[in-house]
Structure 1
Amino acid sequence: MGNQKLEDGNLCKDCAKQLSPWFSDRRRSTVEDIKRQLAYREENWGRASQFRTTRSYGEDWKVLLDEEHRWFTVTRARDLADANPDILDYTALTGCRVDIDESRTEQKREGPDGKEVTYNPPRYEYSYDFEVIISVNNPYFDEMKFRLNNSSVYIEPQNTMQRPMMGQQGMMGQRPMAGRPQSGMAGQRPMMNQSGMNQRPMAGRPQSG
């Protein structure tokens, strides 16, 4: 029970538990491929037992360094000998990057008839997740991907639009007037009547710094 398909056979659930957590190419693996990986994982267990953390980065998922052996691993486990995370040499590291996953959900309000209607202009709630992808040279996987944040980071729009004060035209949600250049922030007009913005000094008044 619980067998998983291989390219030329089946993988039992007990052997599947012993494979690398970063391994994802099971269906294209042969029985011999799995046997070689199980041998690699048995050898890795010896490294995990010898691993001595000298530096730790992260809170949930952690990047651990053993500077004496020049090894590193990525794991959530506290007991490395029991969890047997993949222990890699420094030289196996080939790259690292951070991916930001953005999701957008439109917010709506209740109309006079009780039905949901869109704001004008539309309002959105944004959520962000941050993932680290460590690229490695390994025969059984080529990247170690894990999330930095425990829960998504949410950014909600302002509930009410504020009327701009006299001399200011930089409030969010306003459309730029025709013929005027836009500032570097989306949906904002450039703020006017500020010192240092191509204004002529008034006669008899000193200029600001």
Structure 2
Amino acid sequence: MGLFDKKYCDVCGEKIGLLGNRKLEDGNLCKECARKLSPWFSDRRSSTVEEIKQQLAYREENRKKAAQFRTTRALGEDRKVLLDEEHRWFTVTRARDLEEANPDILDYDAITGCRMDIDESKTELMRENADGKEVSYVPPRYEYSYDFEIVISVRHPYFDEMRFRLNGSSVDFEPSAMLRPKSFNAGRPDPESCAEYRKYRQMGDEICLCLEEARRGSAAEDAVPGEAPAVLQTEAAPSSGPWTCSACGGANSRGGFCEYCGSPRQ
């Protein structure tokens, strides 16, 4: 079959336009059908035509749940975690019209974990000397940049995690002279002194705590009658001061959840 031969979508049967083909393991998929797949799904190339048809059928059923979804709690800024506490459903989306956008609607009991990853990068600040050359400060000075990412682990036939960034743009932090290390061996400044850092760190902690409570509550409802119920809620852990995770031993500077394994602060 030639490179420019006509191709047809093996799912809907429509002709595929130039540059519109999305390869499957055993066929072709048009971009219109590809748009209907879950935004969290990443295994298209290794999926068969039949598997894609099954997912699209699931997505149409999901649209019915999206139409019934009634937000009772919203967490986040640009992309939000929305909860429907009556149906015990949640979703992650930017959309306002859920039926039209059709974000994946999951039950609380699909949650297996939630963590926040904070990515830090730093750039050395330079100064100009008497010869007009850029040289380092003594001791070196740095500007720090942070990105906050939420990772929700789930049980689902088409994806196992929902990963999204909390902040629209990186949070930049240049320590003031008072906070700047006085020697080469001094530790890095505490980013908690930056209001934007605190805002997103607290936002991430709140999302993780909320979903952990939803998960534990769902597990308690499913417990066998007569057995001791699981703890329904996790008390809000103190979010200031360094601490060591009892689960993995990781050293954390701040926050209510471990930066390494996602376990709640004890």
The TM-score range, normalised by the shorter chain, is: 0.7 to 0.9
CA 1:122 to 1:21, structure 2 compared with 1: closer, same or farther past 3 Å? same
1:30 maps to 48
SS at match of 1:120: strand
Q: Would you say the 8 A contact 1:173–1:187 is kept in 2?
A: no
Q: For residues 65-94 of structure 1, what are the alpha-carbon distances to aligned partners after superposition, in whole Å with 9 as ceiling and x for unaligned?
A: 111211111111000011000001111111
**CA distance in structure 1 between the partners assigned to 2:188 and 2:73 by the alignment:** 45
For residue 187 of structure 1, report the CA deviation from its aligned partner.
Answer: 7.5
Report the 3-state secondary structure (helix = DSSP H, G, I; strand = E; otherwise coil) of the residue aligned with 2:125: strand
SS in 2 for 1:44: helix
In the aligned structure 1, how far is the partner of 2:100 from the partner of 2:154?
23
* Distance of aligned partners of 1:19 and 1:175 in 2 relative to their CA distance in 1, 3 Å threshold: closer
Q: Does the CA-based 8 Å contact 1:56-1:64 persist in structure 2?
A: yes
> Is contact 2:139-2:184 (8 Å) kept?
no
- 1:54-133 equivalences under 5 Å are 54-133=72-151
Task: Look up the SS of the partner of 1:45 in the other structure.
Answer: helix
Once the two structures are aligned, what percentage of the paired residues are identical? 71
Q: Once the two structures are superposed, what CA deviation does each residue of 1:15-58 show, in whole Å capped at 9, x if it has no partner?
A: 01101011111121111111111011010001001111111112
**TM-score of the two chains, using structure 1 as the length reference:** 0.75
8 Å Cα contact 1:175-1:187 kept in structure 2: no
| Cα drift, residue 124 of structure 1 | 1.3
5+ residue gaps, structure 1: 163-169, 177-184, 189-209
**Ranges of 4+ aligned residues in structure 1 off by more than 6 Å:** none
Q: Is the 2:181–2:188 Cα contact (8 Å) retained in structure 1?
A: yes
1:17 and 2:35 correspond:
yes
- Larger-gyration structure (1/2): 1
What is the CA-CA distance between 1:120 and the residue it aligns to?
2.4
- Code of the residue aligned with 1:5 in structure 2: it is K
Unaligned runs of 5+ in 2: 1-16, 190-266
CA contact (8 A) 2:118 2:149 kept: yes
Q: Output the aligned Cα RMSD.
A: 2.1
- CA distance, structure 1, for counterparts of residue 161 and residue 87 of structure 2: 21
Larger displacement relative to structure 2 (76-85 or 55-64): 55-64
Q: Greater helix percent: which structure?
A: 2
Paired amino acid for 1:76: R
Tell me the number of residue pairs that the alignment of Structure 1 and Structure 2 aligns.
Answer: 171
Counterpart of 1:53 in structure 2 is 71
By how many angstroms is 1:115 displaced?
Answer: 2.5
Cα distance change on mapping 1:5 and 1:187 into 2, 3 Å: closer
Q: Which amino acid aligns with 1:174?
A: S
Normalised TM-score (structure 2): 0.60
Tell me the SS of whatever aligns to 1:82.
Answer: helix
CA positional deviation for 1:174: 2.6
